[in-house]
Chain A
Amino acid sequence: MLSVQNISFTVESKKLLKDISFQVSDGEFVAVLGPNGAGKSTLLKHLSGQTSLQQGEVIWENQHIHQRKSIELAKKRAVLTQHTQVAFDFSVESVVLMGRYPHFDSIPGKTDIEAIKSSLEMTEMSSYTDRNIQTLSGGEQQRTHISRVLAQVFEKEKMISGAKLLLLDEPLNNLDIRHQHNILQLSAEYSQQGNIVLAVLHDINLAAMYASKILLMKKGEILAFGEPEEVLTEELLSACYDFPAKVSTHPFHQIPQVHFGCPVNTESRKRESDSSPNTVDCGLSSVD
């Protein structure tokens, strides 16, 4: 279980996180949603232990995450950050192997090789193993790094060494539609094995389709936290994004689907249509 208690974070007198508390049970896939500047990445940095705590606590499996040794943590917790740039020309395979470094001393073992192979297959990168990562497209690089974090928390038979934690900051960057679905499918499956996956996403409908819970943030606060059906309501979403939202049901799955940019209600539409001919008239008359 991952438990976040009363986290606040201030930078230059700007409150980026305001008293955030929530709990994630093993087996859950949480999508963190919210507009720019909502504090999603800042929250993720707190969960990964990257940012030192100003206030509050992050407890995972009854231990403070900030007090755990980084090498112990590295065996059970993987983090995908945004804009990872590899400094030298490593091959795809050697980058993915880096995900296994915490698990072996000098020579990769059988499980490590298996982890690399299976995570490359999962992200459909198997045919790229010898390619230089610097020559790949953005999406292919992203899939390589996803393979790396998947390899890091790879488990041959599930739950031998307890639940793992996978933190993904905008994992769908640069990916095409099929790979977006694939990565979320993988994340959902991984969480169903008893692990925790927490991902910052932008696409609400994709989140609704794969995540078991949604954490909706705005201006450093939690607006709502719960199952997609509870969180994805027209009121909450319109308020969150300051943009009118409509919610319907997906034609094939029984899940909410969100549409933005629709008129808020018929009255306002009527008012618009009432007023517009007048303005056109005015324009025309002035030309005359």
Chain B
Amino acid sequence: MKQSLIIVALATALFLTAILAITNGSANISLTELYQTLIHKLGFDIEHNTKAEAIIWGIRLPRVLLSLLVGSVMGICGAAMQGLFRNPLADPSIIGISAGASLAAALVIVLGTSFFAAFGIYVQMSALAISTFIGAVLATLLIFSLSVTKGKAIVASMLLTGIAINAFSMAFVGLLTFLSTESQLRTLTFWTLGSLGGANWTGVTVMTIIFVIVVFGLVRQYKSLNLLALGENEAKFLGISTEGLKRKVLLFTALGVGFSVSQCGMISFVGLVVPHLVRLSLGSDNRVVLPVSAIGGALLLCGADLISRIVAPPVEIPIGVITALIGAPFFLFLLHQQKKKSIII
């Protein structure tokens, strides 16, 4: 009962935030204009404001949709990673998966632009998406091989690997800034701080496909992830192929994180904050945690994007800055909680 109430409240909040995010910004749009545009786009003949329609259809709607898709993918990937590592600190951005993806992105932007550009914009975009995916996979494998022994993630190694990957990719991106042209530099900044400013319908389409694959792929693993909470051996005794589960979760997470990074750069902490709040209010059953983390992630990212646009218009604060401002103190709070429970290291 309490569960369904919270879920309904979240879904309502998500809907309202999305409407707010579409109507608010450097130019405000009225609800009537939004309604008219949507009806018109559905093919009905209705009186409408073409300027408002251009803003809604060309800028706001893809941007809001992208924030919802990326946010939900990040939320659910965070929840799945934490289940796999059996630890609430395992967030893709903290343990270095996002950094691995953005390093790959930076490499492609600076070193590969001229090469891939020769094949046209679509090849360039897919090269970027594929390389971020590969970067995410490689980072995940590295973290896993360094921090998991006998089915148990050593938290210290996990976080330290994250520090190393984060530092390395930061340094490498720094190095690349020397090699990059002015426009590449702007793109790099966009990548390292994260932004939804580049949202377009192609990106929305790609992310919709990724969203469907990742969300359905991960939600189907809810039983296995629950069993993993008992321990690797116990999960095996209950019929789970833990190796298969690891491969699936790593693949889906790398897919989700990699494509999210390729669409809007590195946005950190969503996958940490959201699943934790969900567990706090709804318990740890992954049947609930996975889908609700997707809803919560969408809500958080959509809200953060809205804030980034309305705080000081027409200037946009990079969204990664906002999520980090919320997330970093939260991370410290979590560490404090773990210390109390003395499960760290």
Residues of chain B with a CB closer than 8 A to A188's CB: none
In the assembled complex, which residues on chain A have CB atoms less than 8 Å from the CB atom of B341?
134
On whether the beta carbons of A101 and B241 are closer than 8 Å, the reply is no
Contact B229 A74 (CB under 8 A): no
Could you tell me the distance between the alpha carbons of A78 and B237 in the complex, rounded to whole angstroms? 7
User: With A94-B283, A101-B223 given, is the CB distance from A86 to B229 under 8 Å?
Assistant: yes
Q: Tell me the complex Cα distance, A71–B240, Å.
A: 7
Q: Which residues of A contact B284 (CB under 8 A)?
A: 88-90
Whether A98 contacts B236 in the complex (CB less than 8 A), given A88-B279, A89-B279, A89-B284, comes out as no
Q: Main secondary structure on chain B at its contact with chain A? A: loop
Query: Could you tell me the distance between the alpha carbons of A71 and B244 in the complex, rounded to whole angstroms?
Result: 13
A residues in contact with B234, CB < 8 Å:
79, 81, 84
Residues of B within 8 A of A102 (CB): 238-239
Report the bound CA distance from A73 to B229 in whole Å: 20
A101 / chain B contacts, CB cutoff of 8 Å: 223, 226-227, 238-239
CB distance from A141 to the nearest CB of B (A): 12
Contact call A87/B236, Cβ cutoff below 8 A:
no
Q: Which residues of A contact B202 (CB under 8 A)?
A: none
Q: Does A85 contact B (CB under 8 A)?
A: yes
Q: What residues of B have a CB within 8 angstroms of the CB of A70 in the complex?
A: 236-237, 239-241
Nearest B-chain residue to A79, judged by Cβ = B237
Name B193-251 residues within 8 Å CB distance of A: 223, 226-231, 233-234, 236-241
Residues of B within 8 A of A134 (CB): 341
- Note all chain B residues with C-beta closer than 8 A to A77: 237
Chain B 262-297 interface residues, beta-carbon cutoff 8 Å to A:
279, 283-285
Instruction: State the CA gap A152–B238 with chains docked (Å).
Output: 8
Residues of chain A lying within 8 A (CB to CB) of residue B88: 88
A136 to chain B, nearest CB (A): 14
Which of these, A50, A71, A84, contacts B239 with CB under 8 Å?
A: A71
Residues of B within 8 Å of A198, CB to CB, are: none
Q: Do B86 and A98 touch across chains, with their CB atoms under 8 A apart?
A: no
The answer to whether the Cβ of B87 comes within 8 Å of any Cβ in the partner chain is yes
Report the minimal beta-carbon distance from A133 to chain B, rounded to whole angstroms: 10
Residues of B within 8 A of A78 (CB): 237
- The CA of A81 and the CA of B234, in the complex, are separated in Å by 8
CA gap between A77 and B230 in the complex, in Å: 17
- Assuming the contacts A81-B234, A94-B283, A101-B223, asked whether A87 and B239 have C-beta atoms less than 8 A apart, the reply is no
Contact residues in A for B237 (Cβ distance below 8 Å): 48, 50, 70, 74, 77-79, 81
Query: What residues of A have a CB within 8 angstroms of the CB of B241 in the complex?
Result: 70
What B residues does A73 contact at CB under 8 A?
239
Q: Does A75 contact B (CB under 8 A)?
A: yes
Q: Which residues of A lie under 8 Å from residue B239 when comparing CB positions? A: 70-75, 101-102
| Cβ–Cβ contact A99 & B238, under 8 A | yes
Chain B residues, CB < 8 A from A89: 279, 283-284
A101 CA to B235 CA, complexed, in Å: 10
Contact for B231 among A84, A91, A99, A152, CB less than 8 A: A84
Inter-chain contact B279/A98, CB cutoff 8 Å? no
In the bound complex, how far is the Cα of B285 from the Cα of A47, in angstroms? 31
Alpha-carbon distance A17/B87, docked complex (angstroms): 35
Q: Find residues 75-117 in chain B having any chain A CB closer than 8 Å to their own CB.
A: 83, 86-88
Task: Give the residue name and chain of the A residue nearest to B231 (CB).
Answer: A84
In the complex, whether A201 has a CB less than 8 A from a CB of chain B is no
* A196 located at the interface, meaning its Cβ lies under 8 Å from any Cβ of chain B in the complex: no
Task: Report the bound CA distance from A74 to B228 in whole Å.
Answer: 15
Contacts of A48 in B (CB 8 A): 237
Q: Which of A50, A90, A94, A152 contacts B233 (CB 8 A)?
A: A50
Contact with A along B308-338 (1 / 0, CB 8 A): 0000000000000000000000000000000
Q: Point out the residues of chain A lying under 8 angstroms from B86, CB to CB.
A: 87-88
Contact B240 A95, beta carbon cutoff 8 Å: no
Cβ contacts under 8 Å, A95 to chain B: 230
Extra pairs beyond A87-B86, A152-B238 (16, CB < 8 Å): A50-B233, A50-B236, A50-B237, A70-B239, A70-B241, A75-B239, A78-B237, A79-B233, A81-B231, A84-B231, A86-B230, A88-B86, A88-B88, A89-B284, A94-B285, A98-B227
CB pairs A–B below 8 angstroms (5 shown): A73-B239, A84-B234, A87-B87, A87-B231, A90-B283
Q: Please give the residue numbers on chain B whose beta carbons come within 8 Å of chain A beta carbons, in ascending order.
A: 83, 86-88, 223, 226-231, 233-234, 236-241, 279, 283-285, 341
The 8 A-B pairs of least Cβ separation, nearest first, read A74-B239, A88-B284, A71-B239, A87-B86, A102-B239, A87-B229, A79-B237, A101-B223
